């Protein structure tokens, strides 16, 4: 692993554990097990560290996983795929999601960070539009934006505990299937 990746991975972990206030070059150095000053050598400013962290999260998420030339996709297969993404985001990638939420709030006050997050977010929306197009959605671009917003809320509820209890895997899958079927005009599950 390259040293820059070590630093940004440690920044993700620090954001998830200590929040944005706890994210300092020194804290990142400690989290990465590096000598003091290492992270500031690679990312001179806090802003540079934040932007590099956004980029690293996108690399780790591999949002380019949806090819442009997808074969036709059955709504149930789409629901299964999306439910798996939500499951990973809520469990395996929980720290990354917490870091993303921290950065998203900060981006409301920092236009340059907002620009970095928006660019990454567009990749998610484009991937959702390609999946929906393959499933026969009538307006895949608009619906892709809506699907990503819905999934963001669902993951937030699972990760941050905004609800009274976390939904089970089966409940998440059923909710996603209902949403996808509604978008595709198949409300009965056909």
Distance separating alpha carbons of residues 186 and 179, to the nearest angstrom: 10
Q: What is the mean pLDDT of residues 115-139?
A: 93
Asked whether residue 96 carries a pLDDT value surpassing 90, the answer given is: yes
* Four-CA torsion 108, 110, 113, 115, nearest 10 degrees: 80
Residue 67: predicted pLDDT? 75
Structure tokens at 33: 């097990």
Asked whether residue 161 carries a pLDDT value surpassing 90, the answer given is: no
Alpha carbon of residue 79 to chain centroid: 17
Q: Comparing 69 with 152, which gets the higher pLDDT?
A: 152
Domains of the chain: 1-56 (1.10.10.60), 62-190 (1.10.357)
Structure tokens at 31: 């989290």
Least confident of 22-26, 75-79, 131-135, 183-187: 183-187
Confidence of residue 66 (pLDDT cuts 50, 70, 90): confident
Q: What percent of the chain has pLDDT over 90?
A: 81
Asked whether residue 142 carries a pLDDT value surpassing 60, the answer given is: yes
Asked whether residue 176 carries a pLDDT value surpassing 60, the answer given is: yes
Asked whether residue 189 carries a pLDDT value surpassing 60, the answer given is: no
Q: What is the mean pLDDT of residues 70-85?
A: 92
Residue 24: predicted pLDDT? 97
Task: Give me the chain's average pLDDT, please.
Answer: 91
Give this prediction's pTM. Answer: 0.88
Task: Find out whether 12 and 55 touch, Cβ atoms under 8 Å.
Answer: no
Least confident of 41-50, 127-136, 155-164, 178-187: 155-164
Digit-coded pLDDT (tens) for 10-50: 999 999 999 999 999 999 999 999 999 999 999 999 999 99
* Four-CA torsion 26, 27, 28, 31, nearest 10 degrees: 130
Integer-rounded Cα radius of gyration of the chain? 18
Q: Comparing 142 with 188, which gets the higher pLDDT?
A: 142
């Amino acid at each position: 692993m390259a040293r820059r990746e070590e630093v940004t991975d440690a920044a993700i972990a620090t954001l998830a554990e200590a929040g944005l206030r706890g994210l300092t070059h020194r804290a990142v150095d400690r989290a990465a097990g590096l000598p003091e000053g290492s992270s500031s050598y690679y990312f001179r400013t806090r802003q540079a560290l934040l932007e590099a962290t956004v980029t690293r999260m996108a690399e780790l998420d591999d949002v380019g996983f949806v090819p442009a030339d997808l074969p036709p996709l059955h709504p149930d297969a789409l629901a299964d795929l999306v439910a798996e993404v939500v499951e990973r985001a809520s469990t395996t990638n929980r720290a990354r999601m917490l870091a993303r939420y921290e950065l998203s709030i900060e981006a409301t006050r920092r236009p340059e960070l907002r620009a970095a997050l928006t660019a990454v977010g567009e990749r998610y929306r484009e991937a959702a539009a390609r999946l929906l197009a393959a499933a026969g959605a009538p307006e895949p671009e608009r619906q892709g934006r809506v699907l990503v917003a819905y999934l963001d809320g669902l993951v937030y509820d699972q990760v941050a505990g905004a609800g009274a209890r976390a939904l089970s895997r089966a409940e998440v899958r059923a909710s996603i299937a209902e949403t996808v079927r509604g978008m595709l005009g198949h409300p009965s599950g056909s």
